[in-house]
Structure 1
Amino acid sequence: MLLLGIDVGTSSIKVSVVDAETQKAVVSAQYPETESQIKSLKPGWAEQSPEMWWEHVQQAILKANASGAYQPRDIGSIGIAYQMHGLVVVDRGQNVLRDSIIWCDSRAVEIGNNAFRKIGEERSLSRLLNSPGNFTASKLAWVKENEPELFSRIDKVMLPGDFIAMRLTGEATISASALSEGILWDFQDDTISKDVLECYGFSSELFPPVKPVFAEHGYVTEAIAAKLSLRAGIPVTYKSGDQPNNALSLNVLQPGEVAATAGTSGVIYGVSDKLTYDPQSRVNTFAHVNYAGEQKRVGVLLCINGTGILNRWVRNNMAPGVSYKTIDSQGKEVPVGADGLRILPFGNGAERMLNNKLIGAHLLNVDFNLHTQAHIFRAEQEGIAFAFRYGLDIMRENGMNPSVIRAGKANLFQSPLFCEAFVNSTNVPVELYDNDGSVGAAIGAGIGVKAFASESEAFTNQRAIQLIEPGMSGVYEEIYQDWKTLLLRKLAE
């Protein structure tokens, strides 16, 4: 059986067609080749058009089809991964009412903080496992408060992956995992949170029917099938946020297993069987892809908004036309610690691990007679690694102590300089895999359609391609402590 995986990223859409028997991609395609626009109408705001995602999904599928590597009509199931926390609202005709307020938008921070106090901090943490914070429910509350006429026309609220599934099938569904990432799921009652609905004045009818992550979420319509050369009636059998999906793609499904990514944002995601929460909600707990019934599998997520986006910003503004590989090699020529140059990588919205503070990015201790472009290249990657260490220490406070971290060899984890800084800053080995979000979504579709006898069978052919172990932890520890002192100084301002 062939499985189609769709990954709705912030920068682009990627699709993969996977052979269920080998668990390998037959072909992968990305659209567009350049990074998609994020609209920022005001400081701290971030929006994207859902219809842009849908157009790009179609173009990516057609691009994969054009490879001639498979017969599109042989695809038996579809899985979708997507950027988490985005708000999509449609009317009764399934027309999009406004651009999506996406994950790195900071406008709803105070709305969420007020809800935290109104619901009660202890009740919020024990039932929602999070503060309402700057998540999807609070973004919807912002729309209700600031765009009341538009809010009155909303028929259904969903996450980005739910929207793409709806465009494929004509049906709207949602999962406990998706609702939990919007801080709309009551983990004690296993239902949509009445506390959040009452606090924000939402009707439960705004939300589509709730189904498991691995379930039939609709079937490809004849019109869409004809447009994309697919077979009508293909089921969508998996939908997941990108970080739970990344964990799935790395076979991180059981308590104690940990995954990481370092793309536009940086994430460490660990699985637990305890309904745990951080008292300050600096790291967040969501229902994992295999959360169901008595099996309480949750994902504890550290998210750092300002990671790969800093790496891209440095290249675009300080070394236009220079490859990431060249940036990496030049940075490695500079001593560890970049001769005192420090970078705080927090320039992409409010950071949850910093108590939702918006401190911006900072280039510190610049010496015009000493520091060069290469120093900036090293300092920015070390600064990102130190941000991971700072967040991992918060996870350790909450009982997550990984002995190894699994990551795909992609984005910053392709950089030897970053990998060196990451393992030595955290003092945790990293296993690298040849994984991909769209491949993970396809594997998820296979689990959902029961192409595999079990979840574990879906990963029988998976092998680590590289193990990176700490070797200079003492050297990095001293530099990290200096970086942390500068961070705490900024937070105190």
Structure 2
Amino acid sequence: MGNYLLGIDLGAGSLKATIIDGAGRTLGEGSHPVTTSVPRFGWSEQDPAEWFEALCAAVPKAIAASGIPASAIAGIGISAGAHIPVLTNAQGQVLRPAIMWNDQRAAAQAAALHERAGARIIATSLNRVNPTWTLAMLAWLQENEPDVMAEAKRLYLAKDYLRYLLTGTWETDFSDAIGALLADNVTKSWSSELCALIGLDMALLPPIVAPEAVVGGVTAEAAARTGLAAGTPVVCGANDTTVEFFGVGATRPGISGVKLATAGVLFLATQGPSVNPPISCYPHIMPGMYYTATGTNSCASAHRWLRDLMFAADGFEGMDALAADAPRGARSLLFHPYLQGERAPYWDPLLRADFIGLTISHGKPDFARALYEGLAFSIRDLLEAARALGLSFGAIRLMGGGARSACWRQIIADVTGLAVERTEAADASFGAALIAGIGAGVFAGPEDAVARCVRLLDTTPPDADSHEFYTSLFGVYKDAQAALAGLNHRLHALFS
């Protein structure tokens, strides 16, 4: 085996595989879409079998693009969205679709858990319960699908189930244990107290190991399906936000980041846990460090929705060019991106998306620009809520597919008033490959991985005049959100 590494990330809309060398250079990439089912308003589910089908399609593409033999891969790392539970029975069969992190069905269970034991949940597992967390999802399943819970013998988190299909092993890391809201930050193990709140049998929970721990090798069966070499070492990995933030070099307290992916996420690296509910707090890859994360429900997903609805002939590049040509403020057209309700800072599953200020003179460029600006305002909403809790932010390291758009980068810089930094690689599959390299011995540790592989590509500073303009427009955005929230609720009541 050589010093080549494979990172695999299961996103909400696709699975991506990336092969890098020991200097962090990308040699080959492959991706394959995954579908999300929305059986009811506020619900969001995926079929775990489709995840592995996507892996079996994406990995051979990455290997072929890299020009290296599969036998040269020294290690494999996997990441996926946090909180997503997969339940299997005694025969290893998946019992139901996986409930996604943006699913809102468990709102009542989350509220009941918070009223009953909110302070203890926060003290134990660092975070306030809401429908995003696995704890609330499992409470909903206990109440609504008790037969499933009775038959379940193992609980996997998303990346762990995907890795199980490669290695046949069962474990998780501490970032995903915290993400399940079932872990004790003091003992760094599962919490019997939190499990007892929902009557969860702790035998369902996997062992907790380090993200860089080699947990097994690719099985012969998985090798035949994926084109990988049997026996290739596979590390445990961590959730997507953990590896992605690490992968842009956020290895010191005070570094902040924004992820433009299916969701929009705001990050801040801290020394030790920074507990400010409802802002989330997770363990970092760096020993002793944590990071805060607060996120919206719709970001790149809203981008894709509008592309499909209005810009199918233009594609993303054409849509981006139209947005860049439109004037700032989109000629008074405002967009609130609550296509799937909203998480932070409102935690309201009944919010609806909207375009307001529409006139007969508006055209496609204005819609494209308003979308970018509305998503940037949503990020500023997260930023202002975090600042109100005493958190301080510097330059933003940008992550996710949206980072490729120069127009969107400038809008984010102008709306937030913060410089936007972009690294050469900025997605979770790259971060997962770095974790694999630590476990496989390609890197001496996390600092070595970042020093050798993470390079700054460019910086986008904010324009002072545009920041002043967007600050005024953000006030309108906020007032409109407050004015429309009650109407959103009435619409839901009328049509639910």
Give the TM-score of the pair, scaled to structure 2. 0.92
The one-letter code matched in structure 2 to 1:327 is M
Distance 1:325 1:67, change over 3 A: closer
- 1:336 paired residue number: 328
Aligned counterpart, 1:465: 457
Matched to 1:360, the amino acid is R
Residues 417-445 of structure 1: CA deviation (Å, up to 9, x unaligned)? 32222111111101111213212211110
1:130 corresponds to = 127
How do 1:152-301 and structure 2 match up within 5 A?
Answer: 152-279=150-277, 281=278, 283-291=279-287, 295=288, 297-301=289-293
Amino acid at match of 1:446: G
Identity %: 26
8 Å CA contact retained: 1:434, 1:464 = yes
1:406–1:431 CA contact under 8 A, matched in 2: yes
The root-mean-square deviation of aligned C-alpha atoms, in Å, is 1.8
**What's the CA shift for 1:145?**
1.4
Query: Which residue identity lines up with residue 406 of structure 1 in the other structure?
Result: R
Opposite residue 392 of structure 1, the aligned amino acid is: L
Find the counterpart in structure 1 of residue 25 from structure 2: 24
What SS does structure 1 have at the residue aligned with 2:397? strand
Give the TM-score of the pair, scaled to structure 1: 0.93
**Displacement of 1:68:** 6.6
Assess if the C-alpha contact under 8 Å between 1:105 and 1:349 holds in 2. no
SS in 2 for 1:217: strand
Counterparts of 2:9 and 2:45, CA distance in 1: 18
Preserved CA contact (<8 Å) 1:248 1:289: yes
Q: Which residue of 2 aligns with 1:317?
A: 309
Give the one of 288, 299, 307 matched to 1:307: 299
1:404 aligns with 2:404: no
**1:104: which partner in 2?**
102
> Structure 2: which 5+ runs fail to align?
488-496
Q: 1:218 to 1:484 in 2, by over 3 A?
A: same
Q: CA deviation at 1:372?
A: 2.0
Aligned twin of 1:416: 406
Matched letter for residue 24 of structure 1: R
Q: Aligned with 1:444: secondary structure?
A: helix
In terms of mean alpha carbon deviation, does 198-207 or 306-315 score higher? 306-315
* Cα distance in structure 2, aligned partners of 1:52 and 1:420: 36
Alignment-derived partner of residue 385 in structure 1: 376
How far does residue 461 in structure 1 lie from its aligned partner after superposition? Answer: 4.1
What corresponds to 1:13 in structure 2? 15
**Alpha-carbon distance between aligned partners in 2 of 1:425 and 1:290, rounded to the nearest angstrom:** 31
Q: How many residues align?
A: 480
Q: CA deviation at 1:382?
A: 0.5
CA contact (8 A) 2:253 2:270 kept: yes
Aligned to 1:425: 415
CA distance in 2, matches of 1:319, 1:67: 30
The correspondence for 1:143, drawn from 137, 141, 144, is 141
Partner SS for 1:81: strand
Instruction: Report whether the alignment pairs 1:345 with 2:347.
Output: no
Q: How far did 1:278 drift?
A: 2.4
- Distance in 2, matches of 1:335 and 1:76, equals 49
Matches of 1:211 and 1:470, distance apart in 2: 42
- Which segments of 5 or more consecutive residues in structure 1 lack a partner in the other structure? none
Q: Distance in 2 between matches of 1:455 and 1:317?
A: 43
CA contact (8 A) 1:106 1:350 kept: no
Distance 2:121 2:138 in 1: 18
Shift in Å at residue 64 of structure 1? 2.7
Aligned-partner residue type, residue 17 of structure 1: I
Quick one: structure 1 residues 490 and 194, their matched pair in 2 at CA, closer, same or farther if it must change by over 3 Å? farther
The one-letter code sitting in structure 2 at the alignment partner of 1:481 is G
Separation of aligned partners in 2, 1:181 and 1:277? 14
- Cα displacement (A) at 1:492: 5.2
2:52 corresponds to which residue? 54
C-alpha distance in structure 2 between counterparts of 1:317 and 1:59, whole Å: 27
Tell me whether 1:488 sits opposite 2:486 in the alignment.
no
Instruction: Return 225-234 or 96-105, whichever deviates more.
Output: 225-234
The residue aligned with 1:444 is 435
